Amino acid sequence: MTGFPELLHPVLDTTDVRGLAEFYRRLLGLQYRPGDEPVAADDDVDWLVLTDAQGGRRLAFQLVQRLERTTWPSPKVPMQLHLDFIVPDRAALEHHHARALELGATLRLDRTDDPDEPLYVYADPAGHPFCIFVG
């Protein structure tokens, strides 16, 4: 036997599977896995997958009944996991910062004054933390 297990995709818990999938689909320019596309306004799903243009799985979303939001940077409820996204320069950072907020992200930390690694930290609509930074 050779090799190691390969990461298929991160799975985010959420109380609104379609809503959170749609947030990341629009933020990252992804698409639904065939068969996961919306079919009705009252789409009631418990699992969805987003893929890149080549069909590679990037993110999945799983229904939970309750989800406690992180309180980061306060340690009361820790982050547990966060997603990092990079952009090529400050202009792209500001462009995607505006898009993230427009799509429903909440700004948690602005560290754009850091000359080595300017970044923003957000919570997505379900409360999961993610960063966008110049990489």
Q: What is the pTM of this model?
A: 0.87
- Where do you find CATH 3.30.720 in the chain? 11-63
Residue range 79-102: mean pLDDT, rounded:
94
Q: At 65, is the pLDDT very low, low, confident or very high (cuts 50, 70, 90)?
A: very high
Handedness of CA 91, 93, 94, 99 (dihedral sign): positive
Task: Calculate mean pLDDT across residues 75-100.
Answer: 93
Which CATH number, 3.40.50, 3.30.720, 1.10.3470, 3.30.70, labels domain 11-63?
Answer: 3.30.720
Q: Are 86 and 134 in contact (CB under 8 A)?
A: yes
Residue 5, pLDDT > 80, answer: no
CB 51 within 8 A of CB 8: no
Looking at this protein, which amino acid is placed at residue 61? F
What's the confidence (pLDDT) of residue 101?
A: 98
Could you give the strand order of the β-sheet that contains 31-32, starting from the edge strand earlier in sequence?
Answer: 11-14, 57-63, 47-51, 31-32
Under the banding of pLDDT at 50, 70 and 90, the label for residue 36 is very high
Query: How much of the chain, in percent, has pLDDT values that exceed 90?
Result: 77
Domain at 83-134, CATH from 3.10.180.10, 3.40.50.300, 3.40.640.10, 2.60.40.10: 3.10.180.10
